[in-house]
A and B are shown apart, each in its own frame.
Chain A
Amino acid sequence: MIAPFNRWRLSIGGRIFLGFGVLAAAFITQALIGNMSLHMTIDHFRLYGSSNAEVRTILEIEQNLLELQRGVLVFSYTGYGGVITRVKKVQEVLARQFHNVRLTIHDPQRSDILRRMNEHFKLYSESFQSAMEERILLDQVTLKRLAPLGSEGSSMLSGIQKSFLKSGDLEGATLAGSALENLLMANLNAQRFQHRPNSKLVRNAQEQLSNLKKALERLTKHQKMEKLPMEMEFFRDFSSRFEEAFVAEVQATRTYLDLVYVVMGGEAAEITQLANELKKLSLEKQSLLEEQMDKTVFLAEWFSQIASVLATSLGIFLAWWITRNTTRPIRTMTRALTNLARGDKNVDIPGKGRSDEIGAMAMAAHIFKERAFELENASQYKTEFLANMSHELRTPLNSLLLLANMLALNEQGNLTDKQVESARIIHESGRDLLRLINDVLDLSKIEAGRMELVLETRKIFDCIHALKRMFQTVAEDRGIAFETTLDSGLP
């Protein structure tokens, strides 16, 4: 029976190919997963590295911002010019760092923070520039206007007072002393304001300057002052000049303090807040990356293990499957064919229902089995035929042999030698024919495995003689030379 064609059933070769293909695919998949996870890990490491560099830069920015604030604080208290150089250097470093970090960070949230940080940093830098200018202005007002006015005015008033005292002008001395007292008090409050600014000091100083103005008016109206025209000229608008310088000092101080403590402080607070936010986001990003890396490694490990287990299981399954579906049927087939070869007619050929190579082999064996039966039958008929034929041949041949022998014996003596020889040849040829017929019969024995070989010693001379006798006459009749030669060395 031939199995129906099933397009879903593959041949053994196909199945083995498919099996090993799947196995190879599993191993390739495993290798690919390994490769992919390696690539992903490398990518993650690269990202982690750049993220780490970003965090480092952000921390450096934070550090430099602190350094900047420290420098500004020192400058705000001391006004020392050397600090300016240091602060400007830190500003340059920060500007560069902002620029560089903005080139590396591209996500919108952090980019926006950096943009805002940069804007506030610019405002901070501009404010510092303004603060420096205000400080210079303040120092100029304090040191070059207010202080000389105070010392010059007090020194001059003191001189006037002494001069009046010396001349015995007590009224003039009292007027000069009153002006001096107000000037010294105003100057003291101005100095106090420089040291520790307070609006009360400003009010007090302005009140004292107002008193100074009145005292100077009284002094300049004093009769004896006419003798001091230079002093008169100096004190003519002295209180206004002093007040102007003092107000300029107050305004410069307030502007300077507002710039340093409020404007720059506000920008610094915002920058610090943004830097903290940026740091937080960057660290969060880094943590996320770490989590992703852990996850990737875990997944790669998991996939690799699963692929290994699958490949191993598939290998074991394939081995079992090949054994079950191929090796075992082949062994069964081998046994069946052996039995068939041994002549077991009842042997059953396995696997005839299969559509694969084993099925084809089974079908071939089945056909072989059928042919073997046919051949066996043919051999039997041949044997029977030969048996009959030998009987039919031997009967007349025996008569022929008997008659030829009688002629060869020439008991009557009426035959010529040639005739006798011919009769002998007939007899011997007849015997050879009989032997041949027997040999044909022996073939049956050989086929049946019953032939027995008889090993004996014969003289080579007898063999040659027999051949000569058998073939020489025939050869001569056909004009063919027939010669026999024996080596002299033969035994």
Chain B
Amino acid sequence: MISFLPYVHNVDSFGYDSRIVPQGKAYETESWGWLLDERWHGKVAIVNAPTIGIFDLGLAAQAQGFMTFANIGAMTEEEVDRLFAILIEKKQKGHFCGFWNSVPESADFISSGRAAIASMFSPAIADLNERGIPAIYAAPREGYRAWHGVMCLSSRTTGRVRDAAYDFMNWWLSGWPGAFVARQGYYISNPQRAKKHLSQGEWDYWYEGKVASEDLRGPDGNIAVKAGQIRNGGSYWKRFSNIAVWNTVMDTYEYSLPRWNEFLLS
């Protein structure tokens, strides 16, 4: 039984301003541990979404050797407690410069200089690059935090509303939206259609991980990638072959919420 429609998906990591943080090597030196690295004390921003942030920080704590998880995708209450004890201590010492709530806000954190390194989403990096800020989306050696977006339709939906909902879902899979999100660094579940709306140069850069043969425009039409650049982390397959954890709503999700709040306000 199909209960949802897969569409946009990606592998996430963290972004950094290469003017401040020296550029690392994908899958070799770039590490989630950088988020808790003392070198970037006071310059680290985290997404204010515990379902996402907890994995970024869990991977960081693990990479730094502060703790280990039996299964990082299904943290126990004890592991959640240990992780937040580490994070709260860091927060109280001023390690984190803030928590962002939206993609533009995360880009502003980097562009304003408030943060040098932050848990980020791909469109924010595209936005920063379009603005000429040399932000890099890391390819951590520990692997990415992967996610897959789906569209669900309520069983109670009927008639014209259901037709409109199907139209909307079909539109998402029509190719153009897939090409649009590809330029943001995202992937669509039916790339064949998206490919028709991408130039060969765009396809090669975003999907194949090849050197950009021409200047590539971002979603809003500005040049986001200069000819000769190569995407950090490589091709779609290379990226999806390096996954540390799949984003899940863990059983300890509700348990982690007060801890997250404590972390935010510590």
Q: For residue B20, which residues in chain A have a CB less than 8 angstroms away from its CB? A: none
Q: A270-B98, A270-B99, A273-B98 are in contact. Are A265 and B253 (CB under 8 A)?
A: no
A253 close to chain B: CB less than 8 A: yes
Q: Which residues of chain A have C-beta atoms less than 8 A from B249's C-beta? A: 199
Report whether B255 and A266 are in contact in the complex, using a CB–CB cutoff of 8 Å: no
Q: Which residues of B contact A439 (CB under 8 A)?
A: none
Contacts of B164 in A (CB 8 A): none
CA distance A273 to B99 in the complex (A): 10
Closest B residue, CB atoms, query A253: B254
Contact call A262/B254, Cβ cutoff below 8 A: no
Binding site of A, secondary structure by majority: helix, strand, loop or mixed?
Answer: helix
List, in ascending order, chain B residues with CB within 8 A of A197's CB. Answer: 254-255
Chain B's closest residue to A69 (CB) is: B265
Residue of A261, A268, A270 most packed against chain B (CB within 10 A): A261
- Contact (Cβ within 8 A) A261 B257: yes
Report if A266-B250 is in contact (Cβ < 8 Å); known contacts: A260-B261, A272-B265: no
Contacts of A258 in B (CB 8 A): 257
**B3: A residues at CB distance < 8 A:** none
Cα of A203 to Cα of B251 in the assembled complex, Å: 9
Contact A269 B257 (CB under 8 A): no
> Per a CB cutoff under 8 Å, which of A199, A261, A268 touches B260?
A261
Which B residues lie within 8 Å of A196 (CB)?
254-255
Q: Chain B 238-266 against A: per-residue CB contact (8 Å), 1 yes, 0 no?
A: 00000000000111111101101100110
Q: How large is the interface on B (under 10, 10 to 19, 20 to 34, 35 or more residues)?
A: 20 to 34
User: CA A257 – CA B253 in complex, angstroms?
Assistant: 10
Indicate with 1 or 0, residue by residue over A242-267, a CB within 8 angstroms of chain B CB atoms: 00000000000110011011110110
A198 at the interface (CB under 8 A from B): yes
Nearest chain A residue, comparing its CB with the CB of B49: A262
Instruction: Tell whether B154 is near chain A: CB-to-CB under 8 Å.
Output: no
For residue B88, give the distance in angstroms from its CB to the closest CB of chain A: 12
> Smallest CB-CB separation from B248: which chain A residue?
A199
Residues of B within 8 A of A253 (CB): 254
**Does A200 belong to the interface (CB within 8 Å)?**
yes
Q: A263–B251 Cα gap in the complex (Å)?
A: 20
Contacts of B50 in A (CB 8 A): 261-262
The answer to the question of B71 belonging to the interface, with a C-beta cut-off of 8 Å to chain A, is no
Chain B residue at minimum C-beta to C-beta distance from A254: B254
Knowing A197-B255, A270-B98, A273-B98, the reply to whether A265 touches B250 (Cβ < 8 A) is no
Q: Interface size bucket, A side?
A: 20 to 34
Contact A269 B251 (CB under 8 A): no
A38 to chain B, nearest CB (A): 43
Docked pose: A198 CA to B98 CA in angstroms: 28
Q: Which residues of B have CB within 8 Å of A69?
A: 265
Best-buried of B98, B101, B265 by chain A (most CB within 10 Å): B265
CB contact list, B80-126 vs A, under 8 A: 97-99, 101
Complexed CA–CA distance, A262 and B264 (Å): 8
Q: For B97, list chain A residues within 8 Å (CB).
A: 273
With A261-B257, A266-B99, A273-B98 known as contacts, the answer to whether A199 contacts B264 (CB < 8 A) is no
Out of B101, B250, B257, B264, name the residue touching A268 (CB < 8 Å).
B264
How far apart are B121's CB and chain A's nearest CB, in angstroms? 16
Contact bitstring A120-162, B, C-beta under 8 A = 1, else 0? 0000000000000000000000000000000000000000000
Q: With the chains together, A198 CA to B253 CA distance in Å? A: 7
Tell me whether A266 and B264 are in contact (CB under 8 A): yes
Tell me, rounded to whole Å, the shortest Cβ–Cβ distance linking A283 to chain B.
Answer: 17
- Excluding A196-B254, A203-B251, 6 further A-B contacts by CB distance (< 8 Å) are A254-B253, A261-B257, A262-B49, A262-B261, A262-B264, A269-B99
Interface residues of A (CB under 8 A from B): 69, 196-200, 203, 253-254, 257-258, 260-263, 265-266, 268-270, 272-273
Residue ranges of B at the interface with A (Cβ–Cβ < 8 Å):
48-50, 97-99, 101, 249-255, 257-258, 260-261, 264-265
What are 6 of the A-B contact pairs (CB < 8 Å)?
Answer: A199-B249, A199-B252, A203-B251, A262-B264, A265-B48, A266-B101
Closest CB pairs A-B (n = 5): A197-B254, A266-B48, A261-B261, A269-B264, A265-B261
